[in-house]
Amino acid sequence: MSVSQTAFHSALLDASQDVPGGLSDGLGQPAGSRFAVYRNNVAVSLTEALEQSFPAIAKLLGPDNFKGLAGIFLRKHPPDTPIMMHYGAAFPDFLAGFEGLSHIGYLPDVAQLEQALRTSYHAADADPIAADALQAVDPDRLGELRFDLAPALRLVRSPWPIHQIWAYNLEPGAPKPTGGAQNVLILRPEFDPQMTPVSDGCAAFITALQRRTTLAEANDLAVAEGGDFDLSHGLGLLLSGQAITRITFGDAP
């Protein structure tokens, strides 16, 4: 008797299910115990992958709670690629919809921050513009510029102090979170992503540039959202983080 892939897959990720009938080991005997060992190894491997990808969430929940939650997640969201670095992309949304954790409102956003760190780390490389490239632009035309930004750039906006929560759980000596909303810009000037909390105005500025609005339009949107926005500071963050990869004028492709 053959075993369907669906039945095998379902039983592999759910220890409460019986071993599928029709499986045999190398000696032609029922593969009950061997399948159980294999199933356990898969669950352990996926749980470890989640813990490595979301260390702050693991710390916040504690080992036992995280392990139990991972077991629920992996049954609902089995791997859809053999590349394990991508596993867990649905974890922030899973946390947001998990009723038993609704009292920890910041948890999904902290997970989103950790997911952004992961995707930034694995994003494609891109050569930045020269450090003095903007100095060569006619000052009267600066407002017409549009920017291409590095694939590794990420921006996470949250009503919670997500960077403070992340740091308090993972960085020795980090102070306790003081509350309030935080926007976190993630850049990767070298090999590892770097996080920088930014103002509402700066976040609006970067969001606008990601949509390839002109520099003048992005500045206006940033000032409207955060009146204390400093254009030179916003550009300085992107330039020092090697996050601007191309500049064009107006409607140029």
Could you read off the pLDDT of 206-215 as tens digits, one per residue?
Answer: 999 999 999 9
Q: Where are the alpha helices (DSSP H) in the chain?
A: 5-12, 32-53, 55-61, 63-76, 91-96, 107-122, 162-170, 200-210, 215-225, 231-240
In this predicted structure, what is the pLDDT of residue 4? 43
Give me the long-range contacts of 139-143 (CB less than 8 A, separation at least 24): 141/249, 142/215, 142/216, 143/214, 143/215, 143/216, 143/219
Q: Which has the closest alpha carbon to 153: 125, 182, 112?
A: 125
Q: Are the CB atoms for 194 and 187 separated by under 8 Å?
A: yes
Q: Could you read off the pLDDT of 54-69 as tens digits, one per residue?
A: 999 999 999 999 999 9
In this predicted structure, what is the pLDDT of residue 16? 52
Question: What is the Cα–Cα distance from 87 to 70, expressed in whole angstroms?
Answer: 12
Q: Are the CB atoms for 149 and 156 separated by under 8 Å?
A: no
Strands laid side by side in the 194-198 sheet:
154-158, 182-187, 194-198
Question: What is the Cα–Cα distance from 243 to 152, expressed in whole angstroms?
Answer: 8
Q: Are the CB atoms for 204 and 225 separated by under 8 Å?
A: yes
Q: Could you count the other beta carbons within 10 Å of the beta carbon of residue 175? A: 9
Query: Domain extents for the chain?
Result: 1-104, 124-253
In this predicted structure, what is the pLDDT of residue 33? 54
Q: Which has the closest alpha carbon to 169: 100, 104, 122?
A: 104
Burial class (CB in 10 A: 0-12, 13-18, 19+), 82: exposed
The model's pTM: 0.84
The mean pLDDT values, 10 residues at a time, for the chain of 253 residues are 47 52 51 53 80 96 94 85 81 95 96 97 95 90 95 98 98 93 96 96 97 96 91 95 92 62
Q: Are the CB atoms for 185 and 166 separated by under 8 Å?
A: no
Q: What is the separation of C-alpha 146 from the centre of its chain, rounded to a whole number of angstroms?
A: 26
In this predicted structure, what is the pLDDT of residue 197? 97
Q: Which residues contact 142 (CB under 8 A, 6 or more apart)?
A: 134, 215, 216
